[in-house]
Amino acid sequence: MIETQNPWWFGEPDISWLLFENLPYRIRPKWLDELSREPFSLNFVVGPRRVGKTLGIKLLIRELIQDNPYQVFYFSCDVLEDYRDLLEILRDYIKLKKRKGVKSSFIFLDEVSLVRDWWKAIKFLIDSGELRNDVVTVTGSISLFIGRYVETFGGRRGKGKDVSVTPLSFRDYYGLFYDDFFPGKAEEVFENYLKTGGYLAYLNGTLRVEELVSLIKADLKALERSTGLAREVMGAIIDKAPSPTSFNSIAKAVGISPHTARDYVEIFEALRVLLQIPYLGGDGRVYPRKERKLALRDPLVSKAMALWTRREVGKDTLYEWLVQEHLYRIFGEVFYYRNSYEIDAIADGLRVEVKSGRNVKSGRYPRNVRVLSGKDVPEFLYGLQHRPSRER
């Protein structure tokens, strides 16, 4: 398995490189530059499956093997059972590394969260000093962080970074088609973005909506949650969107306890399917017990959840969700306000209300509130600049 997954040791290309060159739409992910490459480092790359983590890692490997192919080790952990298997694989590579005279290496462990007690193997090798000159990068689905396994590495991360991988923002998506911003073209591209979301695999025809549903269901099962109950909770969330709601309201709609409703909402949030948007009062205080807005984080995820729950998501709701999501990615938090008027998204001094119509009267809002009509949303999203590593 080791030899099969590391073809560059034998002067052969990885199949991912060949597939990448033939994709209609391709991009080198910006998050690759956020990873530490200085020993010792333990990096964590976390994001939903099929969002591009593996392909990004393979592109980075292509850059790293130029000096010595044996200094790069990759392994897809979904074929392993538990930490003992992982420990055996890593020790096999450590032996090979010594035979080849490699002093410092880059080790990539893909989808390690699928391995039972994966953290034990890595922690053992760190404590024994066997990885002291290496850069270890671990990738996984969002459930990697549930159970707080990452916190077990306190003081053992070295120069390592946490990197969150998300679907493409609208700005990056637009860049696939045009180098400069043109309002007319932006509206056309945005209409396509509403259909495909930021999943490059879907745009390239290598991912189906049904597969995205299956992957989310698989993560729920791995977390020992009922997919049937999760579907009912998600259906209630879509029914109430984009209005603020409460755990009690969701619980009543589904016929469960508020505690269970909260648990499933937080699971969807941990899976990066859902974004919770709390209420920010006029006094500048956050009120966590008040009703919150719940936003789906990507148009393709919205399409998948609508398919799964047999619901429909309106375009006006998608507009609001996209503004909230993009502000959250940049500032790490987003809030809403509601009194005699409503503000859909508040982040770092920005106050934005999203209206679906093309011509909107903003006279009833304070001057510091930007009211966006549907045609304003693409330019607004494009104008937001990405700031790495702000997602909590």
**Do 160 and 283 reside in the same domain of the chain?**
no
- DSSP string over 46-108: E--TTSSHHHHHHHHHHHHTTT-GGGEEEEEGGG--BHHHHHHHHHHHHHHHHHTT-SS-EEE
The more confident residue out of 40 and 49 is 40
CA dihedral 218, 61, 40, 102 (to 10 degrees): 130
Examine the pLDDT at 352 and tell me if it is beyond 80. yes
What letter represents residue 291's amino acid?
E
**Do 194 and 132 reside in the same domain of the chain?**
no
CA distance linking residue 133 with residue 41, whole number of Å: 9
**Do 34 and 157 reside in the same domain of the chain?**
yes
**Do 175 and 319 reside in the same domain of the chain?**
yes
Express each pLDDT in 47-101 by its tens digit: 888 999 999 999 999 999 988 999 999 999 988 989 999 999 999 999 999 999 9
Q: Residue 388 falls within a domain, yes or no?
A: no
Q: Which of 114, 132, 164 is the last residue of a domain?
A: 164
Q: Given pLDDT bands bounded at 50, 70 and 90, which one contains residue 213? A: very high
> How many separate domains does the chain show?
2
Q: Residue 353 falls within a domain, yes or no?
A: yes
Per-residue confidence (pLDDT) for residue 217, from 0 to 100: 95
**How many other CB atoms are there within 10 angstroms of residue 345's CB atom?**
27
- The CATH number that applies at residue 142 is 3.40.50.300
CA distance linking residue 169 with residue 384, whole number of Å: 9
Express each pLDDT in 97-148 by its tens digit: 999 999 999 999 998 877 889 999 999 999 999 999 999 999 987 766 655 6
Q: Residue 295 falls within a domain, yes or no?
A: yes
The more confident residue out of 90 and 152 is 90
pTM of this prediction exceeds 0.85: yes
State the chain's mean pLDDT as an integer: 92
Per-residue confidence (pLDDT) for residue 95, from 0 to 100: 96
Per-residue confidence (pLDDT) for residue 143, from 0 to 100: 62
Examine the pLDDT at 150 and tell me if it is beyond 80. no
Q: Given pLDDT bands bounded at 50, 70 and 90, which one contains residue 244? A: very high
Domain that holds residue 138: 2-164
